[in-house]
Chain A
Amino acid sequence: NAGVTQTPKFQVLKTGQSMTLQCAQDMNHNSMYWYRQDPGMGLRLIYYSASEGTTDKGEVPNGYNVSRLNKREFSLRLESAAPSQTSVYFCASKSPQGLDWLYGYTFGSGTRLTVV
């Protein structure tokens, strides 16, 4: 099925460990996003990639890095995990600028990360 695939779905890390969250879309979308969701705060943008080869910071980028490996894949890396990074992480992609009014955004099912 077409869509956005995130792996892993669940992860527990110890403080200071590193990990990479993977995201892939098969809809030929240009723009991809990483959000984190915390209770009472909605979804906040960590990083985005408007097109292959470009990445930019969102509202809460500290402690994260990203890689737009190719048009399909956009990964999020935590170099040294902290308890404050315990959250649910969502990857999303958006159809091209001229068509986003029609097709909009597609979200992955999320990664639940706990840092102890």
Chain B
Amino acid sequence: AQSVTQLGSHVSVSEGALVLLRCNYSSSVPPYLFWYVQYPNQGLQLLLKYTTGATLVKGINGFEAEFKKSETSFHLTKPSAHMSDAAEYFCAVRVYNQGGKLIFGQGTELSVKP
């Protein structure tokens, strides 16, 4: 069975500091992995995704993530946090059967301090 674990339900950083949001997955087949962002009272917006190919994936708003098979990780990073990055972030893995559903982690709320 496939699963996703996000380490840390809350992460707080200062403006300008590195953002690191951790995601580990479990999958018996090559995974498709996703990061979504949710701003307060809004829906989910795709930040980036990994399917095949290059393991360093660049997304929107300066975010990137690196797929590390040996560590079963897909951590999200951004070199310099901005106040507008404050949101909840979800890591997800696609299931190959069952209609290709996504399995989500529990989410990490990012706070950015001035």
**A residues lining the B interface (CB < 8 Å):** 31, 33, 35, 40-45, 48-50, 56, 58, 90, 92, 94, 97, 100-101, 104-105, 107-110
Contacts and interface: CB of A to CB of B under 8 A. Distances in A.
B100 A56 contact: no
A109 B102 CA distance: 17
Contact of B98 (A43, A56, A97): A56
Given A33-B99, A42-B90, A56-B98, A90 B44 contact: yes
Contact of A105 (B52, B102, B105, B106): B102
Contacts of B103: 45
B46 A100 contact: no
B43 A40 contact: no
A50 B43 contact: no
A101 B94 CA distance: 10
Interface of B: 6, 9, 32, 34, 36, 42-44, 46, 49, 51-52, 90, 92, 94, 98-107
Contacts of B101: 33, 45, 48, 58
A105 B104 CA distance: 13
A94 B106 contact: no
Given A35-B104, A42-B107, 6 more contacts: A48-B101, A49-B99, A100-B94, A101-B52, A109-B42, A109-B43
